Amino acid sequence: MTPFTFNTAPSIRFGAGTLGNLGEVAAARIGRRVLLVTDGGMVATGIVERALAILESAGVAASVFAEVEADPPERVVLAAVAAAGRAAADGVIGLGGGSSLDTAKLVALLAPGTETLGDVYGVGKARGPRLPLALVPTTAGTGSEVTPIAIVTTAGNEKMGVVSPVILPDVALLDPELTLGLPAHVTAATGIDAMVHAIEAYASASPNNNPISRHLAVQALTLMGASLEKAVHTGSDMAARSDMLLGSMLAGQAFANSPVAAVHALAYPIGGHFHIPHGLSNALVLPHVLRFNTKVAPQPYAELAPHAFPGLARLEGQARAEAFCEALADLSRRCGLQQRLREMAIPQDILPKLARDAMNQTRLLVNNPRQLTEADALAIYRAAW
């Protein structure tokens, strides 16, 4: 067997009502003076207020940084680091969607002052030490609570990644009750994002593609393929919400070790230039990238297809792989997501620039099961337009 490495968060707590354990977890493992990193939308839901009360009851003093933005820009990350310094925080808690969790990871890493943001961009550049860290997701999409990855938007609207096991949290706390209030469109976009994580992890050309990641990806797709539409159209369905949150986490563990590829590489320029949510950016290019890949590498997609869509088991080989692409596109459509770049007011004349920018995502493109050129990227964008 080919040697591989598998890393994940050392402690995961999952279950309805698990937010109530946050004070106990923080007091024992995170710190007595923490910075809670979140966004204004989360404050408006009342969840932040609940979290603060739970922390206070455990004797944990918490300051709040609630200025996180989607696709967090560098200035927001640096402002959060400064807030941790002012609070003399000895630990960090991230509460919210992937942007809040990614920001919290970087605050924990940079607050000690031994590294700068510019130092840690790339794979394996972050060395630590970092502050103790707990992550509490409120969406079922990014899997950030169990990944060693944080994505930042530069001043030039380029997505840059910090990738290092150093930023894996000490504790991931997953409470599906926190996802009950997610709007249908957000549920759909984040859910497709999580499915992309599982698909790309399974099919990844990374030399670290491994049997653990593949097994987790299969389990993730089995859960999410059966529950996404229920979660979108019946948002109060606790079973569907639980399956989505667990599936998202499993997909996160999978791609944290067997990295994603061209879907993400082509999605990043869309999000960077047009501030389209990451999950929707993925959904817009997903079927087109997979159609490109299946022409020369159908096997992984044929293997995955019946786990997400059991009806496809009747097909075989290339036909099953192609049907998988169409089933994913149809699922996205049924969940109410936009299907074309033009629907997002993306002009056709920007497509060559998007293709050029996508080629900068070498960290991701190297994992694609089919080599992709700038001309290929442009053709995919045109097909998606």
10-residue averages of pLDDT along the chain (385 residues): 95 98 98 98 96 98 96 95 98 97 98 96 94 98 96 87 96 98 95 98 98 98 98 97 98 98 97 92 98 98 98 97 98 97 97 97 96 98 98
Does a structural domain hold residue 208? yes
Does a structural domain hold residue 6? no
In this predicted structure, what is the pLDDT of residue 71? 87
Does a structural domain hold residue 287? yes
Distance CA 258, CA 218 (A): 13
163/212 same-domain check:
no
In this predicted structure, what is the pLDDT of residue 351? 98
Distance CA 251, CA 306 (A): 17
In this predicted structure, what is the pLDDT of residue 156? 79
Task: Please report which helix (H) or strand (E) contains residue 161, including its range.
Answer: strand 159-163
Where among 128, 159, 179 does a domain terminate? Answer: 179
Tokens at residue 359, please?
């080629």
In this predicted structure, what is the pLDDT of residue 1? 84
pTM of the entire structure? 0.96
Burial grade of 155 (CB within 10 A; 0-12, 13-18, 19 or more): exposed
Cβ 294 vs Cβ 318: under 8 Å: yes
Query: How many structural domains does the chain have?
Result: 2
Range of the domain at 136: 12-179
In this predicted structure, what is the pLDDT of residue 383? 98
Does a structural domain hold residue 91? yes
CATH number at residue 125: 3.40.50.1970
In this predicted structure, what is the pLDDT of residue 296? 97
